[in-house]
């Protein structure tokens, strides 16, 4: 039996744009796509940490190094610039495939630049003091 598992996640990205007039999708900085091993037109789920909304869409490649996270089309009603989101992709695995499976977890700062979890924790702790 196959089960669904988290394959990749970009954690706490900041929405940079929301364009309701664009025809669907999520435009994402190519560097973030590479870091999370996401491909153009791959389905993703988006969880809006700020507003609580959830939706599914697909990825469109954005300019490398731009930090762009643009919610397009109807989904633009579910997120606004400045909202924090989680972008998740899933896969199906058999039980015997789990031993070697490791999901790709990508953490980003407020500019949507990849950072380590330790760097993120240190920044959060420094801001709280």
**E strands of the chain, at which residues?**
2-14, 17-19, 26-29, 43-48, 54-62, 69-72, 84-94, 104-108, 114-115
Catalytic residue among 25, 47, 66, 90: 25
C-alpha–C-alpha distance, residues 8 and 17, integer Å:
22
User: What does the block give as tokens for 111?
Assistant: 């500019």
Per the annotation, the verdict on 5 as an active-site residue is no
Catalytic residue among 22, 58, 66, 90: 58
Per the annotation, the verdict on 58 as an active-site residue is yes
Catalytic residue annotation:
25, 58
């Amino acid at each position: 039996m196959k089960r669904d598992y988290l394959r990749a996640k970009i954690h706490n990205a900041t929405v940079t744009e929301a364009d309701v007039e664009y025809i669907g999708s999520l435009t994402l900085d190519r560097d973030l796509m590479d870091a999370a091993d996401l491909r153009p037109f791959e389905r993703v789920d988006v969880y809006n940490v700020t507003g609580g909304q959830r939706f599914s869409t697909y990825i469109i490649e954005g300019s490398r190094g731009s930090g762009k996270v643009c919610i397009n089309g109807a989904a633009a009603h579910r997120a606004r610039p400045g909202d924090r989101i989680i972008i998740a992709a899933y896969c199906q695995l058999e039980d015997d495939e789990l031993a070697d499976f490791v999901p790709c977890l990508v953490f980003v700062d407020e500019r949507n630049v990849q950072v380590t979890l330790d760097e993120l924790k240190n920044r959060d702790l420094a801001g709280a003091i």
